[in-house]
């Protein structure tokens, strides 16, 4: 439990958690507009059909299927004097900054499908390298089952605060009443990321170190795929994250259309999202405590059930009723942060379990798969949502009948409900719990002792008392 972790010396200082989590703020400040604002923004300025915009984002995300594992392996294998992760985070910063400028502050005379596709590909290379390295670094900060939830919870708080900050910008911009409101809002978000990212990365990499972890060995691609295909815990996490990406991507990509066209609350869109994310921040400690009490996987299942039960409130929000809309989005926010940080905490345990079984260290690879599934799910969501809107006859820059607007509500709600309950069913019997994780850590720690003893023998030629056969890997339902 948490007290036991503290006694073992596993608990991290709050200052360490704070500094480590800081880069998550600009990461989130970038991710939110990409999901919520950029698709409808480019639909308006390019005049492209919604289905075509959805296809473009689908292609961009499928590009990550190839790049994410490659970048994950790079993050695992190539070290520097800083360690294994921090130099990759620093290297990603200029890539992200340049591509954010080109996407969020585009030269309108050259903007088109090829422009969007090209710069989004560059952006996702930098963003993937940044996020994979940051999540892998967090997974390696501590070996403790519950302490990992604290690490990922701190990161999730920074993510949400980044979203809250970037959401405050459109509210300010709206009060200034610029000539081109859409462009002004998106440009402000872009500048926010460009300024904040290098500052936050500097603080994190300067003041937080890395724990020493075993150097990963080279594994052929075919062998890697074969081992991963046998890893049941990994498959469960990836499937649930993929489904979560679809459900979350649908509600994110359709949010602007729902609020502005169906609910007629365009002036309050930023405030609704702000309330949503603030509610999420306040509830993260509750989800951490629940995960310690019932286990991470069951807490994740409860989170999914909560989503499935509450999303249908959308059907009952009257047009133009700001108060009921605000209350509804606060309720939605109670749950918004639980799944993301719990999946990342669980993945650290899955990586340890794989190390016990395979003798290899592939945290970066595993987190690259996790980012890939979420991106693919979100990409499918944009394609599905925009395609269904096209089929319903929805017009992004025009008048829509009440029937079309009712169909928008239906598209927003029903798929997300189905996905939520599917996730709850799949994750409920997840095979890795705290007991299994403690057993796995004992195995890995004993292997480290044995490796150190072997190194002493190689140097001195004398046996060491540190040698021990040690505990054997836990067989608690891993594969």
Determine the pLDDT at residue 81: 75
Distance CA 363, CA 442 (A): 18
Determine the pLDDT at residue 473: 43
Length of the chain: 479
Residue 115's contacts (CB-CB under 8 Å, 6 or more residues apart) are 106
**Bridge partners for 83 per DSSP:** 80
Determine the pLDDT at residue 226: 66
**Bridge partners for 80 per DSSP:** 83
**What percentage of the chain carries pLDDT values higher than 70?**
85
| pLDDT tens readout for residues 83-103 | 778 999 999 999 999 999 999
Superfamily, domain 2-432: MFS general substrate transporter like domains (1.20.1250.20)
Determine the pLDDT at residue 309: 95
pLDDT per position in the chain (479 positions), as tens? 333 333 344 677 888 889 999 999 998 889 888 877 888 888 877 777 788 888 887 787 777 667 766 777 777 777 777 777 899 999 999 999 999 999 999 887 777 888 888 998 899 889 888 988 888 888 788 877 678 778 878 888 888 888 888 878 877 776 776 667 778 888 999 999 999 999 999 999 998 888 766 555 555 556 556 656 778 888 899 999 889 888 888 888 888 889 988 999 887 887 888 888 888 888 888 998 998 899 899 999 999 999 999 999 999 999 999 999 999 999 999 988 788 778 888 888 888 888 887 777 777 778 777 777 877 887 788 788 888 888 888 887 678 889 999 999 999 999 999 999 999 999 998 988 888 888 887 887 777 777 767 766 665 655 545 444 444 444 444 44
Determine the pLDDT at residue 177: 64
Query: In degrees rounded to 5, what are phi and psi of residue 187?
Result: -60, -40
Distance CA 11, CA 128 (A): 28
Report yes or no: 34 and 189 within 8 Å, Cβ to Cβ.
Answer: no
Determine the pLDDT at residue 244: 87
**CA end-to-end distance (rounded Å), the chain:** 25
Determine the pLDDT at residue 40: 80
Sign of the C-alpha dihedral computed for residues 340, 32, 405 and 47 taken in this order: negative
Phi-psi region of 47 (alpha: psi -120 to 50; beta: other; left: phi over 0): left
Q: Taking Cα atoms as reference points, which of 107, 280, 130 lies closest to residue 205?
A: 130
Q: Taking Cα atoms as reference points, which of 346, 386, 387 lies closest to residue 369?
A: 346
- Cα 332 to Cα 108, 110, 246, 308, 335: the distances in Å are 36, 39, 17, 10, 6
Residue 215's contacts (CB-CB under 8 Å, 6 or more residues apart) are 79, 361
Using a 10 angstrom Cβ sphere, with 0-12 exposed, 13-18 middle and 19 or more buried, the burial of residue 221 is exposed
| pLDDT tens readout for residues 363-384 | 777 877 777 787 788 778 878 8
Determine the pLDDT at residue 160: 81
- Cα 411 to Cα 128, 224, 244, 391, 418: the distances in Å are 29, 38, 16, 11, 12
Complete DSSP assignment for 430-446: -S--HHHHHHHHHHHHH
Determine the pLDDT at residue 459: 58
Query: In degrees rounded to 5, what are phi and psi of residue 101?
Result: -60, -45
Determine the pLDDT at residue 199: 96
Query: In degrees rounded to 5, what are phi and psi of residue 83?
Result: 125, -150
For the record, the structure tokens of 301 come out as: 């299942």
């Amino acid at each position: 439990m948490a007290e036991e972790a503290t006694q073992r010396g596993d608990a991290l200082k709050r200052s360490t958690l704070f500094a480590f989590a800081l880069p998550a703020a600009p990461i989130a400040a970038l991710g939110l507009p990409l999901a919520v604002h950029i698709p409808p923004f480019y639909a308006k300025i390019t005049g492209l059909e919604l289905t075509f915009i959805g296809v473009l984002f689908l292609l961009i995300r499928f590009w990550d299927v190839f790049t994410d594992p490659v970048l994950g392996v790079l993050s695992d294998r190539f070290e520097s004097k800083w360690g294994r992760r921090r130099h990759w985070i620093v290297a990603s910063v200029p890539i992200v900054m340049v591509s954010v400028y080109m996407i969020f502050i585009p030269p309108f005379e050259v903007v088109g499908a090829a422009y969007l596709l090209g710069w989004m590909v560059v952006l996702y290379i930098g963003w993937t390298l940044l996020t994979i390295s940051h999540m892998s670094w967090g997974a390696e900060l501590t070996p403790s089952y519950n302490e990992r939830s604290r690490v990922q919870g701190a990161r999730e708080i920074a993510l949400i605060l980044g979203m809250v900050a970037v959401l405050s910008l459109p509210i300010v911009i709206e009060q200034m009443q610029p000539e081109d409101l859409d462009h002004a809002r998106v440009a402000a978000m872009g500048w926010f990321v460009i300024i904040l990212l290098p500052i936050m990365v500097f603080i994190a990499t300067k003041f937080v170190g890395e724990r020493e972890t075993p150097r990963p060995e080279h594994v052929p691609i075919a062998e890697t795929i074969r081992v991963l295909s046998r890893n049941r815990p990994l498959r469960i996490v990836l499937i649930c994250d993929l489904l979560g990406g679809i459900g979350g991507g649908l509600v994110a990509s359709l949010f602007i259309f729902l609020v502005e066209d169906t609910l007629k609350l365009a002036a309050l869109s930023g405030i609704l999202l702000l309330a949503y994310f603030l509610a999420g921040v306040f509830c993260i400690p509750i989800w951490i405590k629940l995960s310690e009490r019932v286990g991470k996987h069951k807490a994740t299942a409860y989170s999914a059930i909560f989503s499935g039960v509450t999303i249908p409130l959308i059907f009952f929000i009257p047009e133009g009723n700001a108060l009921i809309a605000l209350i509804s989005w606060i309720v939605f926010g109670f749950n918004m942060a639980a799944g993301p940080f719990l999946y990342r905490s669980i993945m650290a345990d899955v990586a340890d379990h794989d190390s016990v079984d395979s003798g290899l260290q592939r945290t970066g690879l595993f987190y690259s798969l996790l980012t890939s599934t979420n991106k693919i799910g979100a990409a499918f969501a944009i394609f599905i949502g925009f395609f269904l809107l096209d089929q319903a006859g929805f017009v992004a820059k025009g008048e829509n009948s009440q029937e079309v607007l009712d169909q928008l509500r239906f598209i927003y709600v029903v798929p997300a409900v189905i996905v939520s309950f599917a996730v709850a069913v799949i994750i409920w019997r997840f095979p890795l719990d705290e007991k299994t994780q403690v057993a796995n850590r004992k195995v890995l720690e004993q292997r480290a002792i044995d490796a150190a003893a072997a190194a002493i023998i190689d140097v001195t030629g004398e046996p060491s008392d540190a040698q021990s056969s040690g505990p054997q890997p836990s067989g608690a339902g891993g594969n």
